[in-house]
Amino acid sequence: MIYLDNSATTKPFPEVVDSFVAVATNYFANPSSLHGLGMKAERLLAQAREQIAAMLRVKPNEIVFTSGGTEANNFAIKGVAWQYQRRGRHIITTEIEHPSVAEPCRQLEELGFEVTYLPVDREGRVSVEQVERALRDDTILVSVMHVNNEVGTVQPIEEIGALLARYPKTLFHVDRVQGISKVPLDLKQAGVDLCTISAHKFHGLRGAGLLYVREGVRLAPLIAGGGQERQLRSGTENVAAIVAMAKALRLALERYERDIGRLQALKDEWLEALSAIPDIEINTPRDGAAPHIINFSLKRGVKPEVFVHELEKSGIYVSTTSACSSKKKAPSKTLLAMGLGEGRAERGIRISLSFDNSQEEIAPAVAAIKQAIKTLSEVTE
């Protein structure tokens, strides 16, 4: 098997699975319980919070655990909107955000909020000048993803943060789900107020994520109940998955320090090999992109969903658009926003690497890609 769909989800580290099993088996009590077993679970939870905060260079009380990236994005956007609606009802985001940002914005529009969706350039990047022009007195939130999940473009987060430092009434949310452990970002230096992270994107387990909430920022809770997570996110904490997330983040950041150069070189080799195939057009920008995402479009007549299944016959796993949108068979909104045209947007394929991928996989995978294109082209002719 050659797994090239790591932006959809990563394979958990074995140590992470072991950690989850150990905590789930031995420290299964509710961390809110007063008895000794509950207190042990609570200590594990606090320890994981401290470890994660240290790795992100933030304070432990700025970490709110969630069920994953989608909940954290919804919490950031709706929580700000409901908390600060008397200050203003205008939000700024981009045309290429993940559905877990775009859809909450659409919902807020139905409730009377106004959302500005900023365009991107040919490389999928928003400009700081566009953000500045869109700012208004009633703008309460700017939400921009760190790394685009389809083409890998890195957004100018530090520059946007520097701009928004002059607008203290406007909060800055960053969806860092695709960037964590692949592209560095200092949340404090970048002026980020809210940041989303999801464990299963860095070899943790599904069902665990977090929202960084800068000290001083207030949010209206989405989930009311027993008041866990400092009254911000009620519900019994998934201690085992959270402890496993802390371990996954530590291991992933260690892999970054050791292997980021190798991963970038691997991506460059993939781009060179794919660029030599006449029936492929590369969509990922050559510069200013994450080291693990490659997006390309197939020639006319080859349906991407059929291509994915054809590759699967050879034990090679890729995807079309984001995993959340791949079954809808709609054109990639990111490729459309980049101005690449509807045809190219309909035929997009994403390869996404992890530190576990190797150079030895390239030749057989590229051979399978060429054969799949040839086979499917003959079928459509």
Calpha distance 53→47 (Å, rounded): 10
Q: Which residues of 216-228 are buried (b: 16+ CB within 10 A; e: fewer)?
A: ebebebbeeeeeb
Calpha distance 338→350 (Å, rounded): 16
DSSP-derived secondary structure for 169-185: TSEEEEE-TTTTTTS--
DSSP classification of residue 309: H
* 324 is annotated as an active-site residue: yes
Cβ contact 283:335 at 8 Å: yes
The catalytically annotated residue of 128, 260, 324, 362 is 324
Surface-to-core class of residue 377, CB atoms within 10 Å of its CB (0-12 exposed, 13-18 middle, 19+ buried) = middle
CA atoms within 13 A on the CB side of 232: 24
DSSP run (H or E) holding 282: strand 280-282
β-strand partners of 2: 316
End-to-end alpha-carbon separation of the chain, Å?
30
Calpha distance 291→302 (Å, rounded): 27
Task: Provide the pairing of β-strand 63-66 with 209-213.
Answer: antiparallel
DSSP run (H or E) holding 25: helix 14-26
DSSP classification of residue 12: P
CA atoms within 13 A on the CB side of 10: 30
For 100, 105, 182, 264, the CA distances from 69, given in Å and listed in that order, are: 8, 15, 17, 25
Q: Which residues are identified as catalytic? A: 324
